Amino acid sequence: MILDKTLELSLAQAVTATAPSTNVIDIAAARNIGAGEDLFLYIRVGAAATAAGAATVSFQVQTDSSPAMGTAVTVLDSGAIPKASLGSNTALKFKLPSAAFKQYLALNYLVATGPLTAGDFSAWIATDVQDNATYAGGFTVN
């Protein structure tokens, strides 16, 4: 997977309550993002999500005609993901719909039944996702 800094929404962003991503992508400046290809939202959990209660996080890709995202429309919603599924180094990927995006894209971290007491997320838009299997080392090939 090749990461493009201009398509980065968050980098190790600490999230304890509902919050927007650190970065907003200006599609007019990030031209040809996946022209003719599927696009994916890729999220990597850094520090595991923890909470005193049964907190969940929904990842929502939103689009708007203003970088302030004041009238944002959600074009992808992951649904509520329980904190137990957001352990350290967990990777999540979601195919973006082929919806007509407005000029700006952002990610909204919607925390419910929270707050979280810890957790950080990195998120990018990419044309491909790392999807390889990892196997234990220490074997011999004959």
Give tens-digit pLDDT for 80-96. 999 999 999 999 999 99
Mean of pLDDT over the chain: 89
User: Could you tell me the pTM of the whole model?
Assistant: 0.86
Position 2 scores a pLDDT of 67
Position 134 scores a pLDDT of 66
Residue 36 has pLDDT above 90, yes or no: no
CATH T-level topology, domain 5-126: Jelly Rolls (2.60.120)
Position 27 scores a pLDDT of 86
Helices and strands, counts by H and E, the chain: 0, 10
User: What percentage of the chain exceeds 70 in pLDDT?
Assistant: 89
DSSP 18: S
Position 110 scores a pLDDT of 97
Residue 104 has pLDDT above 80, yes or no: yes
Map out the domains of the chain as residue ranges.
5-126
Cα(108)–Cα(131) distance, rounded to whole angstroms? 24
